């Protein structure tokens, strides 16, 4: 495929070596430690923590240490969000103290609860303030700092190239661009060609993000954007192996550690479930895991009954959930949708 082999090559980010150029995007409430470990095991080049609110982290709010805890992977990357320079700097110091190799600044989240606090993609409305946060983080830590952004707030303010250029001048070592504006949220098609304007504006690596779920789409986004790497988010719902599958395709190899067959898939999903219970505790873990179980059911067990699905997603004890999962996912593999990179 045109240009796909580029994704198999390592990438240097401020002196940190990334093993390939297909990344797992940071996703709030999704890319926790168990999910990142799986994506890495399947071959994703870089995995990023879920977004961490810098103010809550700086104030020591309970539970936030789990989001920045080092999971033993070769590269530990933490994404911070916030509006206050002092909190962003302190959050970065705390994350670096926990072993973060790269600190990413969120300037792309479109969620109202984030932009309503003038963080995330709302920072693209005030580039001077956005730069004050970048300066604070870069000045607070020795590790490389990166930024994730959108094309702009809306079609009338497509200022990602300007933000990227100023970020590079401030010491940022890589930028990721989602090919939509904030006001688009996730509607319509990501504009991959618009990312090319960011690539033209800077000399640091540019990562293209938005609507990639297959090797063909990864090749297309590289051609249209000229980017150095690809970041993939929502395509991973119910399939933590997507980034690794694309990286493997780029290298002409098989996706590592894919569950082969229905019994292996059942074991895989149960192990993911149990790891979440171990991380969060049973009460919280039951709630946290439900979205993942729902995605696994949607993607791989279309034949599951409504009653069986409801029982899995509403149970308050782990044992019946595990028994039901093994029953549903251990059936005839023809009823499953087990695909390695799509």
pTM of this structure: 0.94
**What are the counts of helices (DSSP H) followed by strands (DSSP E) for the chain?**
14, 11
Exactly one of 88, 109, 123, 227 is catalytic; name it.
109
Q: What is the pLDDT of residue 115?
A: 83
Q: Tokens for 320?
A: 């019946």
Q: To the nearest 10°, the Cα dihedral for 205, 211, 215, 220?
A: -70
What 3-state class would DSSP assign to 78? strand
Residue 28 exposure: Cα atoms within 13 Å on the Cβ side: 14
Pairing, β 174-178 against β 145-150: parallel
214 phi/psi in degrees, rounded to 5: -145, 165
Q: What is the pLDDT of residue 332?
A: 56
Q: Residue 183 catalytic?
A: no
Please write the tens of the pLDDT for every residue from 267-293. 999 999 999 999 999 999 999 999 999
Torsion-angle region of 202 (φ positive above 0: left; ψ -120 to 50: alpha; else: beta): beta
Q: What is the pLDDT of residue 260?
A: 87
Alpha helices in 213-317 (DSSP H): 215-225, 242-251, 262-280, 282-300, 306-314
Q: What is the pLDDT of residue 89?
A: 97
Residue in the structure block whose two tokens are 């959050």: 91
Q: How many CB atoms lie within 10 A of CB 98?
A: 14
Question: By the 8 A CB rule, do 33 and 27 touch?
Answer: no
Pairing, β 46-47 against β 22-24: parallel
Measured distance CA(207)–CA(106) in Å, rounded: 14
For every one of its 342 residues, what pLDDT tens digit does the chain have, with 9 covering 90 and above? 456 899 999 999 999 999 999 999 999 999 999 999 999 999 999 999 999 999 999 888 767 778 899 989 999 999 999 999 999 999 999 999 999 999 999 999 888 889 888 789 999 999 999 999 999 999 999 999 999 999 999 889 899 999 999 999 999 999 999 999 998 888 889 999 999 999 999 999 999 999 999 999 999 999 999 999 999 999 999 999 999 999 999 999 999 999 988 889 999 999 999 999 999 999 999 999 999 999 999 999 877 888 989 999 999 999 999 999 999 987 755 444 544 433
């Amino acid at each position: 495929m045109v240009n796909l082999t580029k994704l198999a090559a390592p990438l240097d980010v401020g002196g940190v070596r990334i093993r390939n150029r297909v990344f797992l995007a940071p996703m709030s409430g999704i890319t926790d430690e168990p999910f990142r470990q799986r994506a890495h095991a399947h071959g994703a080049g870089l995995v990023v923590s879920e977004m961490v609110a810098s103010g809550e982290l700086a104030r020591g709010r309970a539970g936030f240490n789990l989001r920045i805890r080092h999971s033993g992977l070769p590269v530990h990357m933490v994404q911070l969000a916030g509006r206050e320079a002092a909190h962003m700097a302190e959050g970065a110091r705390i994350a670096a103290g926990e072993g973060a190799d790269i600190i990413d600044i969120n300037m792309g989240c479109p969620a109202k609860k984030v932009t309503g606090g003038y963080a995330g993609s709302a920072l693209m409305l005030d580039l001077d303030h956005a730069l004050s946060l970048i300066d604070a983080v870069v000045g607070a830590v020795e590790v490389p700092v990166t930024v994730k952004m959108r094309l702009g707030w809306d079609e009338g303010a497509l200022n990602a190239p300007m933000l990227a250029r100023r970020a590079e001048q401030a010491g940022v070592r890589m930028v990721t661009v989602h090919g939509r504006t904030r006001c688009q949220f996730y509607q319509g098609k990501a504009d991959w060609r618009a990312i090319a304007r960011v690539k033209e504006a800077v000399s640091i690596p540019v990562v293209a993000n938005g609507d990639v779920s297959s090797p063909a789409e990864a090749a297309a986004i590289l051609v249209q954007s000229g980017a150095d790497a690809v970041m993939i988010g929502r395509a991973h719902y119910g399939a933590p192996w997507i980034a690794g599958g694309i990286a493997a395709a780029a290298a002409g190899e098989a996706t590592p550690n894919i569950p082969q067959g229905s019994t292996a898939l059942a074991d895989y999903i149960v192990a993911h479930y149990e790891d979440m219970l171990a991380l969060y505790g049973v009460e919280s873990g039951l709630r946290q895991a439900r979205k993942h179980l729902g995605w696994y059911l949607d993607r791989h067990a279309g034949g599951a009954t409504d009653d069986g699905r409801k029982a899995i997603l509403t149970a308050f004890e782990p044992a019946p959930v595990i028994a039901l999962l093994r029953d549903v996912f251990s059936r005839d593999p023809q009823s499953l949708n087990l695909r390695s990179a799509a």
